[in-house]
């Protein structure tokens, strides 16, 4: 230790009493480490109070860095140091910025090799700082080593450009700075391209669904790292210490204001996030979003939750920062990469020209004299695939003149014609719509689109903002024309080749969610905006009706396919009547597929694809047959039985034996099941009862992947067992324990006292099971074991509820209905998803004396929307209105009281 009194730290800190601190160190009554810890604790408490009282976050961030400078100053002077050794701050700390749990990056810099005494001092200093609880990252290098590493690693260069000496000998730091300034380790062009590639890779990593729902405020597009990238490139090329020095050169006053206000917002958000998490958390997790919304002063309204308003503001801020990042890096790229280059100028028309492969205005007054050029430029880019982008100066002019897009502009037929020309472009539509959004043009031209820009729903199902989702829908529609779509989306790809006017589909895509967040049914409210668009763009009445019908009915096909029994010809006939003709069916199918794929990447799987395909094909048949000729139930039964009998005869089964088994089945079995399934079931049952010892004629469990035409996107698990209470509960519990999700369940009771249950399941990745004998055997063994306990079954799922699901305490809703002529009552349940939920619902049915005949399971993020066909214990539909309402309330109450047990 250094006995001599260290010099005072300058500048003085008003919130830290250096005199008392120095006196305590000199007195020796407490260990130095405790004195430092007390100082840190007091400063943390004081800064936290200042933050909560609303003090400027920039002041707090810089004061925190200054306080750490002070601590390092006094810690350094606890030891004797030889000349030629300095302690430097690098990275964010080097910029003088520290949030509550930011890393403190240190470089111990020497001008020569270290002796043993200096090495010991460094080890003791680092240990002391760790014991103090500072989140330090450190390296020990000579000036020469730093320069050698900088020549190889772009990250090292970036950190060193922001280095400053905190304490110790200043000469090594100055020597390093001279080398960095005058003989740059990387040429400016190489540095720019490397940072650009680094940013692109970072953006790509942040495009996953979980990163959009819970964005990383540093690394997401438009986050703090984007601001730093601009700063790093600008500092490397221009001899400046801060971006403010480039105001009026690189940045306009407006751009600098956007940059600073955005940074302040994100800093305040990051500061609060660190305090809430108690660690260096950069992800805006659901755990913290609601609390931060409250801290930022948002309150729930009738149409939007406080957290949705808060996140809406967040997304608008990062979008504006990303837009600014685009234009500034474009400008820097032009300055850095095109120095001394001779450009090729190619005229396009009187208003635009190409400079090499980028488009620009021919003179600065183009947009003020020709406002329509604000749309024309995007049409030109869509028409010419060789245009790679827009010159930075023109982007600035677009942003500066976008307020010219007003009611008069929107009412101008010439502008309407330009927009329709863009929608009809054979290529580049989705790219240009995205570019228009980025530059603030699309939200001005379509004000209703502008209102949903940055709007987010607080759930696990909708992972994109409404505007981003909408543009992705259009992008998906365009992709149906690609060769890859022939394999992945064969029906949609075929539809697009014969579609009369694809632009009508794109308009429906733009407007299908346009009324989100207004309260009420967004499908119906969106029709009003769609009508206005169609009239303004002078679409014929027939086209207007189609677009508006698509907007209003855009959820219809997904709801019917996922929530209704589409093997029932009556369901298909009702859907066909709603659709009316082949054209409406085609447009609706393409919109539905594009919409599902743009909502959540995890949502589209082989199961949903097969449901939509089955409904589409069945509806085609219904339309060809004629809506006035609904299929006859007896005709279906006779045809299905005949086909199944042929298959069974080929297997060697006698007609007498087959019909004795079928005699136990009700009509619904032959209406809802395919001939292939019936043959599979019948052969297995015949084998069980004909060749199995009596004591083993109990339970049969079979598995296979569905064949073409019958839910071929899932694995079937067939259970044949004596009908007892808890069979369904035991089966779904066993499947849940195997991490298999049930998407459809068909349950039949035979006159012989057996139940035939078929479960359509997917694995944890949303795919059918692979043909792995060991895995399939595990399913059979697990279900056999669970079903053996069915007489006294009380098992509950013991898996932990995932973190995200815990964040959503949804109140359950139940709706019970019975239509005239129905054989079953339909119960729709919406509830929070959790392990063992389906088994819990099955137990509730048993407790209330209900029989389950069919289940359609739909998981939408944090919630499930399940449909059950039920009867009373005697097999009769539930028709007593008052009793049904009481049953709904009881089911909701029991589901909301239920919590899956947590592992310790």
DSSP string, 754-816: EEEEEEEEE-TTSSPPP--HHHHHHHHHHHHHHHHTGGG------PPPPHHHHT--PPPEEEE
Contacts of 129 (CB under 8 A, 6+ apart): 72, 75, 136
Buried/exposed code over 217-231 (b: 16+ C-beta within 10 A; e: otherwise): bbbbbbbbbbbbbbb
Beta bridge partners of 670: none
| Interval 327-333 mean pLDDT | 93
Judged against a pLDDT cut of 90, whether residue 241 lies above it is answered with no
Domain boundaries, the chain: 18-186, 189-337, 343-427, 446-625, 633-897
Spatial distance between the Cα atoms of 33 and 24, rounded to a whole number of angstroms = 11
Residue found under tokens 């054989």: 823
- Least confidently predicted of 268-277, 314-323, 880-889: 880-889
Candidates 278, 273, 309, 295; CA nearest to 53 is: 295
CA separation for the pair 144, 176 (Å, rounded): 9
Please give the class, per CATH, of domain 189-337.
mainly alpha
Evaluate whether 522 touches 516 at the Cβ level (below 8 Å).
yes
- What was the pLDDT predicted at 904? 36
What is the dotted CATH code of the domain comprising 343-427? 1.10.110
Asked if omega into 11 is within 30° of 0 (cis), the reply is yes
Predicted pLDDT at 832: 82
Pairing of strands 700-705, 741-749: unpaired
pLDDT of 94 strictly over 50 = yes
| 322 vs 757: CA distance, rounded Å | 53
739: phi > 0 → left, psi -120 to 50 → alpha, else beta; which? left
Q: Quick one: pLDDT band at residue 863, thresholds 50, 70, 90?
A: confident
Q: Which residues pair with 247 in a beta bridge?
A: 251
Shared fold status for 189-337 and 343-427:
no
Mean residue pLDDT of the chain comes to: 90
Residue 591 confidence (pLDDT)? 98
| CATH code, 18-186 | 3.30.460.10
CA distances from 214 to 220, 271, 312, 366, 468 (A): 10, 17, 13, 42, 15
Confidence of residue 497 (pLDDT cuts 50, 70, 90): very high
pLDDT of residue 464: 87
pLDDT, position 271: 97
Would you say 425 and 436 are in contact if contact means Cβ atoms under 8 Å apart? no
Tokens representing 684?
């297995």
Instruction: Please determine, for residue 103, whether its predicted confidence score (pLDDT) is greater than 60.
Output: yes
Which of helix, strand or coil describes residue 865?
strand
Distance in angstroms (rounded) separating the CA atoms of residues 710 and 288: 44
Could you tell me which residue, 570 or 109, shows the higher pLDDT?
Answer: 109
Tell me: the pLDDT tens digits for 11-63? 888 889 999 999 999 988 899 999 999 999 999 999 999 999 999 999 999 99
For 79, 108, 131, the CA distances from 29, given in Å and listed in that order, are 19, 31, 19
């Amino acid at each position: 230790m250094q006995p001599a009194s260290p010099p005072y730290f300058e500048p003085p800190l008003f919130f830290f009493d250096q005199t008392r601190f120095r006196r305590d160190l000199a007195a020796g009554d407490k260990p130095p480490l405790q004195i430092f810890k007390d100082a840190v604790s007091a400063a943390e408490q004081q800064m936290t109070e200042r933050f909560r009282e609303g003090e400027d976050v920039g002041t707090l961030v810089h004061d925190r860095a200054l306080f750490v400078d002070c601590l390092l100053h006094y810690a350094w002077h606890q030891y004797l140091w030889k000349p030629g050794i300095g302690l430097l701050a690098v990275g964010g700390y080097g910029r003088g910025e520290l949030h509550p749990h930011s890393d403190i990056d240190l470089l111990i810099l020497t001008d020569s090799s270290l002796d043993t005494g200096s090495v010991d001092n460094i080890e003791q200093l680092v240990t002391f700082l760790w014991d103090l609880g500072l989140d330090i990252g450190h390296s020990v290098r000579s000036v020469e080593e730093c320069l050698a590493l900088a020549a190889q690693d772009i990250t090292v260069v970036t950190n060193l450009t922001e280095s400053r000496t905190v304490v110790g000998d200043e000469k090594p730091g100055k020597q390093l700075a001279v080398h960095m300034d005058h003989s740059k380790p990387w040429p400016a062009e190489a540095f720019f391209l490397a940072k650009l590639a680094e940013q692109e890779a970072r953006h790509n990593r942040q495009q996953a669904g979980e990163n959009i729902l819970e964005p990383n405020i540093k690394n997401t597009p438009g986050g703090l790292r984007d601001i730093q990238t601009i700063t790093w490139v600008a500092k490397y090329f221009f001899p400046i210490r801060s971006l403010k020095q480039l105001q009026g050169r690189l940045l306009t006053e407006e751009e600098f204001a956007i940059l600073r206000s955005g940074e302040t917002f994100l800093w305040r958000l990051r500061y609060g996030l660190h305090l809430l998490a108690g660690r260096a958390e950069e992800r805006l997790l659901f755990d913290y979003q609601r609390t931060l919304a409250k801290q930022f002063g948002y309150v729930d309204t009738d149409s939007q939750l406080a957290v949705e308003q808060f996140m809406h503001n967040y997304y608008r801020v990062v979008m504006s920062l990303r837009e600014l990042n685009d234009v500034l890096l474009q400008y820097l790229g032009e300055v850095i990469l095109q120095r001394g280059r001779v450009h090729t100028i190619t005229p396009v028309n009187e208003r635009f020209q190409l400079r090499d492969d980028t488009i620009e205005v021919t003179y600065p007054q183009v947009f003020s004299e020709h406002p329509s050029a604000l749309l024309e430029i995007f049409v030109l880019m869509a028409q010419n695939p060789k245009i790679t982008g827009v010159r930075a100066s023109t982007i600035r002019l677009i942003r500066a003149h976008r307020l010219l897009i007003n009611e008069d502009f929107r009412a101008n037929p010439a502008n309407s014609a330009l927009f329709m020309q863009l929608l009809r472009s054979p290529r580049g539509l989705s790219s240009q719509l995205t570019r228009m959004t980025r530059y603030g043009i699309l939200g001005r031209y379509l004000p209703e689109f502008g209102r949903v820009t940055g709007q987010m729903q607080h759930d696990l199902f909708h992972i994109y903002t409404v505007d981003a989702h909408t543009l992705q829908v259009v992008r998906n529609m365009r992709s149906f024309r690609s060769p890859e779509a022939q394999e992945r989306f064969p029906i949609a790809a075929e539809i697009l080749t014969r579609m009369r006017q694809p632009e009508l589909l794109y308009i429906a895509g733009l407007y299908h969610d346009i009324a989100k967040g207004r309260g009420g049914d967004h499908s119906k409210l969106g029709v009003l905006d769609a009508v206005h668009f169609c009239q303004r763009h002078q679409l014929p009445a027939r086209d207007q009706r189609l677009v508006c019908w698509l907007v209003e009915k855009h959820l219809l096909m997904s709801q019917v396919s996922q929530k209704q029994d589409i093997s029932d010809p009556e369901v298909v006939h009702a859907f066909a009547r709603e659709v009316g003709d082949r054209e409406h069916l085609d447009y609706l199918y393409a919109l539905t597929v594009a919409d599902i794929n743009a909502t959540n990447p995890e949502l589209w799987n082989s199961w949903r694809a097969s449901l939509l395909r089955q409904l589409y094909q069945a509806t085609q048949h219904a339309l060809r047959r004629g809506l006035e000729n609904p299929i006859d139930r007896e005709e279906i039964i006779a045809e299905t039985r005949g086909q199944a009998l042929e298959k069974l005869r080929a297997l060697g089964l006698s007609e007498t034996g087959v019909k004795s088994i079928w005699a136990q089945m009700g009509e619904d079995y032959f209406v809802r099941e395919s001939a292939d399934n019936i043959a599979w079931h019948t052969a297995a049952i015949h084998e069980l009862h004909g060749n199995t010892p009596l004591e083993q004629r109990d339970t049969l469990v079979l598995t296979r992947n569905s064949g073409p035409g019958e839910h071929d996107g899932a694995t079937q698990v067939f259970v044949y067992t004596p009908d007892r209470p808890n069979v369904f509960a035991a089966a779904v519990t066993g499947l849940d324990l195997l991490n298999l999700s049930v998407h459809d369940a068909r349950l039949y009771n035979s006159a012989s006292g057996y139940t035939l249950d078929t479960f359509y399941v997917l694995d944890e990745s949303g795919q059918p099971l692979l043909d792995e004998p060991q895995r399939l055997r595990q399913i059979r063994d697990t279900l056999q074991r669970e079903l053996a306990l069915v007489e006294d079954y009380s098992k509950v799922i013991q898996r932990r509820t995932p973190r995200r699901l815990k964040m959503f305490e949804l109140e359950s809703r139940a709706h019970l209905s019975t239509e005239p002529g129905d054989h079953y009552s339909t119960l729709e349940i919406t509830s929070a998803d959790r392990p063992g939920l389906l088994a819990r619902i099955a137990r509730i049915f048993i407790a209330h004396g209900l029989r389950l005949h069919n289940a359609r399971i739909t998981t939408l993020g944090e919630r499930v929307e399940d449909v059950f066909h039920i009867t009373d214990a005697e097999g009769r539909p539930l028709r007593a209105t008052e009793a049904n309402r009481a049953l709904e309330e009881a089911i909701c109450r029991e589901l909301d009281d239920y919590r899956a047990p947590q592992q310790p």
